């Protein structure tokens, strides 16, 4: 139980750290709105085409927005020495990784999921499906941020390389995209949603076990080299 | 009390970092009076490390920063009155509700010291603790070091200025160790330790 208490404490303080700069939320939020709203403008009045493509477009927008927030995860703490203190004071780094993951997802990604149905209106998305879509987006993006923690932990001190990060983790985002967007297609049968949800929920559990451990090992190496 | 000396870049901070566990060491054993000799990886749990960086979050107030930092040096939640005592001792009590972005370099260092002095570990590792501190704060720090030595703690310090020499009681208890003696171009400092 001390571990859970420690985790709860750290989540609360990481949340406070994010709330100290609420303006940072605008960056991914505006990016997500922009990228989704550009499609109806570019494709013109084509309701059928847009309705067909809407789930995919929203998923692509969310994936790119998640990509935008990943550098915010560990880079500030690597640069100001907080992570060296974590290692030197032997606090469990998995607590740190989990707290960063949960708070960053809740602060940056959850608002995007909440406005996704509104953006869906511009894409002629069937609004009766919006609850299903939000559930899938939630599970998928949670796993995405978790996989992202491993990728960002590999990055060297201060040298954030977006291209290298994309090469490292985008392949792991592909199945999330395929299952997430595929099970929302208007043509797909009713079982597709359940299958997609099961896959994404399983992936979340798998990532919950793997990512804190893997990111901890990588962060230890990165701190030792810095 | 051990004073590590040597020119810049010879590895004083690296020695402290590897003793604290922040830098994994391949091999080595550490011991001090009253404790049997331990492998270096086990020794890390005896140490409290004060680094050369000040991980202070600009978005938080001084009080919030201290509460967060206290978690690193004290495994339990610290009583607010203990935090208040530390802030008063470091002369930062009046600034407790200010944003940490307003703090000067020396004040940040004092805030780190306030958190560090909460630690209960028997070995202190101080990496350039006096940089940026004024004369009063240096004197107070030397006083804390003397108290810790009297309480039976061990201190390893790196510094380019022996600020503790103003305290006559502390001076004779300081052992100098020049890292130049260990470092030859072939073996390197890691081998020596």
Contacts 24+ apart (CB under 8 A), A191-196: A193/A132, A193/A136, A196/A136
Q: Which helix (H) or strand (E) holds B37?
A: strand B35-39
What pLDDT score was predicted for residue A125? 84
Q: Could you tell me which chain A residue has the CA closest to the CA of B25? A: A224
Q: Say which of A17, A84, A224 has its CB closest to residue B59.
A: A17
Residue B70 pLDDT > 50: yes
Number of residues in chain A: 226
What Å distances lie between residue A105 and A11, A139, A141, A211, B87, CA to CA?
A: 12, 11, 8, 14, 34
Q: What is the mean pLDDT of residues B56-61?
A: 91
Expressed as residue numbers, the domain containing A154 is: 2-225
Total domains in chain B come to: 1
Which chain A residues have a beta carbon less than 8 Å from that of B23? 224
Which chain A residues have a beta carbon less than 8 Å from that of B17? 84, 88
What pLDDT score was predicted for residue A25? 92
Closest Cα in chain B, distance from residue A144 (Å):
27
Which chain B residues have a beta carbon less than 8 Å from that of A80? 53-57
Give the range among A187-191, B71-75, B108-112, B181-185 with minimum mean pLDDT. Answer: B181-185
Pairing of strands B35-39, B29-32: antiparallel
Partners of B35 in the beta sheet?
Answer: B32
d(CA B101, CA B112): 14
d(CA A195, CA A200): 9
- From A82, A77, A88, A92, select the one nearest A4 (Cα to Cα): A92
Question: How many CB atoms are located within 10 Å of the residue A162 CB?
Answer: 12
Residue B123 pLDDT > 50: yes
What pLDDT score was predicted for residue B131? 85
Q: What is the mean pLDDT of residues A8-19?
A: 94
Which chain B residues have a beta carbon less than 8 Å from that of A14? none
Closest Cα in chain B, distance from residue A4 (Å):
14
- Determine contact, residues A20/A103, Cβ cutoff 8 Å: no
What pLDDT score was predicted for residue A109? 95
Q: What is the mean pLDDT of residues B108-129?
A: 89
pLDDT exceeding 70 applies to what percent of chain B? 94
Total domains in chain A come to: 1
Residue contact B60–A16, C-beta within 8 A: yes
pLDDT tens-digit series, residues A178-209 = 888 888 776 666 677 788 889 999 999 999 99
Residue contact A21–B17, C-beta within 8 A: no
pLDDT tens-digit series, residues B95-111 = 888 888 888 998 999 99
- Determine contact, residues A151/A199, Cβ cutoff 8 Å: no
Expressed as residue numbers, the domain containing B76 is: 2-192
ipTM score here? 0.85
What band does B183 get if pLDDT is binned at 50, 70 and 90?
low
What pLDDT score was predicted for residue B190? 47
- From B68, B72, B71, select the one nearest B57 (Cα to Cα): B68
Q: What is the mean pLDDT of residues B12-24?
A: 83
pLDDT, greater one: B179 or B104:
B104
Q: What is the mean pLDDT of residues A55-63?
A: 92
What pLDDT score was predicted for residue B39? 82
CATH number at residue B37: 3.40.50.300
Pairing of strands B29-32, B2-5: unpaired
What band does B189 get if pLDDT is binned at 50, 70 and 90?
very low
Q: Say which of A20, A81, A224 has its CB closest to residue B24.
A: A224
Residue B59 pLDDT > 50: yes
- From B124, B115, B134, B89, select the one nearest B4 (Cα to Cα): B124
d(CA B5, CA B178): 5
Q: What is the mean pLDDT of residues A148-164?
A: 80
Which chain B residues have a beta carbon less than 8 Å from that of A9? 71, 77
B22 touches chain A (CB under 8 A): yes
What pLDDT score was predicted for residue B81? 86
Which chain B residues have a beta carbon less than 8 Å from that of A20? 57, 59-60
Selected for mutation to probe chain A from B25, B56, B57 (highest A CB count within 10 Å) is B57
Q: Say which of A21, A80, A88 has its CB closest to residue B49.
A: A88
């Amino acid at each position: 139980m001390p571990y859970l208490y420690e985790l709860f404490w750290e989540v609360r303080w990481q949340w406070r750290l994010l709330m100290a700069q609420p303006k940072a939320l605008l960056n991914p939020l505006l990016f997500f709105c922009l990228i989704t709203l550009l499609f109806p403008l570019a494709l013109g009045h084509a309701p059928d085409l847009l309705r067909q493509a809407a789930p995919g477009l929203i998923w692509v927008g969310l994936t790119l927005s998640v990509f935008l927030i990943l550098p915010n995860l560990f880079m500030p703490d690597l640069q100001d020495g907080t992570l060296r203190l974590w290692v030197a004071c032997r606090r469990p780094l998995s607590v740190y990784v989990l707290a960063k993951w949960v708070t960053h997802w809740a602060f940056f990604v959850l608002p995007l999921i909440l406005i996704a149905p509104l953006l869906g209106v511009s894409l002629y998305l069937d609004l009766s499906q919006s609850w299903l879509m939000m559930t899938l987006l939630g599970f998928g993006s949670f796993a995405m941020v978790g996989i992202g923690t491993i990728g960002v932990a590999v990055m060297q001190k201060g040298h954030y390389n977006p291209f290298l990060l994309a090469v490292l983790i985008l392949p792991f985002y592909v199945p999330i995209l395929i299952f997430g967007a595929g099970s929302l297609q208007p043509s797909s049968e009713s079982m597709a949603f359940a299958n997609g949800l099961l896959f994404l929920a399983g992936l979340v559990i798998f990532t919950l076990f793997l990512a804190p451990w893997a990111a901890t090992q990588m962060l230890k190496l990165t701190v030792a080299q810095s | 009390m051990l004073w590590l000396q040597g020119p810049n870049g010879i590895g004083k901070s690296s020695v402290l970092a590897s003793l604290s566990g922040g830098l994994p060491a391949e091999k080595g054993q550490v011991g001090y009076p009253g404790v049997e000799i331990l492998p270096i990886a086990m020794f890390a749990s005896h140490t409290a490390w004060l680094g050369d960086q000040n991980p202070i979050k600009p978005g938080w107030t001084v009080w919030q920063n201290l509460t967060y930092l206290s978690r690193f040096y004290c495994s339990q939640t610290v009583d607010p009155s203990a935090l208040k005592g530390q802030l008063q001792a470091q002369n930062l009590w009046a600034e407790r509700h200010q944003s940490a972005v307003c703090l000067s370099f020396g004040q940040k260092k004092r805030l780190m010291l306030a958190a560090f002095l909460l630690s209960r570990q028997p070995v202190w590792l101080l990496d350039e603790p006096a940089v940026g501190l004024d004369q009063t704060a240096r004197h107070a720090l030397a006083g804390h070091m003397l108290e810790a030595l009297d309480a039976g703690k061990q201190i390893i310090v790196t510094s380019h200025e022996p600020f503790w020499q103003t305290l006559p009681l502390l001076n004779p208890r300081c052992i100098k160790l020049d890292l130049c003696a260990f470092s030859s171009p072939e073996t390197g400092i890691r081998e020596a330790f």
